[in-house]
Every structure is written in structure tokens, then in C-alpha cells.
């Protein structure tokens, strides 16, 4: 009996630890040289377009480095492993500063899910979810704002993708949006249930 209790505690503890760990590599953009998108490597991340900058500008980072985007021809994305039926929490910290305020644009964070056996290219997503926006017309200036949400990996999915971009062009757009500390975690409750299932299987095998 003691062994069974210890086993369940261990499995649940591992599930809780996994749930608190960021599934992304370099989610805080601390690794890699600073510079314009397309000219510097950003470990863990993929990008498109030139209108972004990996920077270490004082007052515009949460640690020492962050990203900024200023036009809708650029964006960032990163893939992570998922389990069908599990809910994933996705978030990013965003900042518009008074010296370069984002106007007539909004920031967007998306979650996408793929079956790698089918493909992970354009048009092959099993599910795409627009989770949240930084709204330049209403969100505060000179204050970090968390944007994000949750999405459930659909049946057949084994790859998730977080996407960050600028959208909603309006006349006379300008400024930039700083992005930092992007985090993806499975919800603890979902992994706890998976942990209980694993514990039951292990118990039956004894």
C-alpha cells in the first residue's frame, strides 16, 4: 500500500512539474544576437518578414532582451509537442511605449495545431485559434500587458504552434509592439488526470 501511495504521489508530482514548465525554447528571447529579423538567428524561433527587431533596449524588456514588431509583413512562430485532448495555456507579455506607441495596429497571439504525418505547412492546420490581441486603441501605454488564452489540442494533433504578429491595419499606422516572456504550458488538471491514468496502469501491471 505504501508503494502504491508513493507511486501516485510521484506521478502527480511529475505532472505538476511538467505543467509549470514552459514548453517553448527561449521564450524570453534571452538567447541570440540582437538585430533585425532575417539577419540574426533567434534560437528556438522561426520568423518571416523584415519588420521586427531582437533588441536589448532599456525599459522595453522584462529581463535583458525582447522582440518588437512594427508591420504586418513580419511575425514569429515556434512549434511544441502536444497531446490530443489536453488544454494548453498560451501567453505573452506585450508593451507599447510612449516614445514609440503602437497606433492603428493590434498585436495578435494565435495557437495552431498540426498532425506531423500530414504536414505543418500553410493550409495544413487541424485547428487555428486567435487567442487574444493587444489593442492599441485601448490597452495602456508604458505598461506590460499579458495577452493569451487557452486551446485544446484536437484529435490527431501532435504539434502545436504559437504565432505572434501585428494585424488589423488602419490608415496612418505606426509605432511598435514589444513582446517578451512567451509561455506555453499544459493545464495542470489535464496532466494530473493523465498522471492518474499512468498510475492506474502501473498498479495493474504489478
Query: What residue spans of 71-147 are helical by DSSP H?
Result: none
How many CA atoms, within 13 angstroms, populate the side-chain half-sphere of residue 15?
20
Residue 85 region, left (φ>0) first, then alpha (ψ -120 to 50), else beta? left
How does pLDDT run along the chain (206 residues), one tens digit per residue? 443 444 344 344 444 445 569 999 999 999 999 999 999 999 999 999 999 999 999 999 999 999 999 999 999 999 999 999 999 999 999 999 999 999 999 999 999 999 999 999 999 999 999 999 999 999 999 999 999 999 999 999 999 999 999 999 999 999 999 999 999 999 986 554 555 444 443 343 44
Task: Give the per-residue pLDDT at 61.
Answer: 98
| Contact call for residues 131 and 109 (beta carbons, < 8 A) | yes
Could you give the CA distance from residue 196 to residue 193 in angstroms, rounded to a whole number? 5
For the entire predicted model, the pTM comes to 0.84
Could you give the CA distance from residue 44 to residue 49 in angstroms, rounded to a whole number? 17
Q: Domains of the chain by range and CATH?
A: 23-187 (2.60.120.260)
Task: Give the per-residue pLDDT at 50.
Answer: 97
Amino acid at each position: 500500500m505504501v508503494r502504491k501511495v508513493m507511486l501516485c504521489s510521484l506521478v502527480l508530482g511529475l505532472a505538476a512539474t511538467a505543467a509549470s514548465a514552459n514548453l517553448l525554447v527561449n521564450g524570453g528571447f534571452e538567447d541570440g544576437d540582437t538585430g533585425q529579423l532575417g539577419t540574426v538567428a533567434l534560437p528556438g524561433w522561426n520568423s518571416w518578414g523584415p519588420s521586427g527587431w531582437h533588441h536589448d533596449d532599456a525599459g522595453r524588456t522584462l529581463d535583458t532582451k525582447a522582440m518588437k514588431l512594427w508591420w504586418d509583413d513580419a511575425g514569429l512562430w515556434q512549434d511544441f509537442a502536444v497531446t490530443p485532448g489536453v488544454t494548453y495555456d498560451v501567453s505573452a507579455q506585450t508593451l507599447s511605449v510612449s516614445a514609440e506607441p503602437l497606433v492603428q495596429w493590434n498585436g495578435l497571439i494565435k495557437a495552431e495545431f498540426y498532425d506531423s504525418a500530414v504536414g505543418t505547412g500553410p493550409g495544413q492546420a487541424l485547428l487555428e485559434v486567435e487567442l487574444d490581441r493587444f489593442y492599441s486603441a485601448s490597452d495602456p501605454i508604458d505598461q506590460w500587458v499579458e495577452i493569451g488564452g487557452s486551446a485544446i489540442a484536437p484529435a490527431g494533433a501532435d504539434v502545436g504552434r504559437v504565432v505572434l504578429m501585428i494585424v488589423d491595419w488602419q490608415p496612418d499606422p505606426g509605432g511598435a509592439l514589444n513582446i517578451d516572456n512567451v509561455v506555453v504550458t499544459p493545464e495542470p488538471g489535464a496532466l494530473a488526470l493523465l498522471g492518474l491514468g499512468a498510475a492506474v496502469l502501473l498498479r495493474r501491471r504489478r
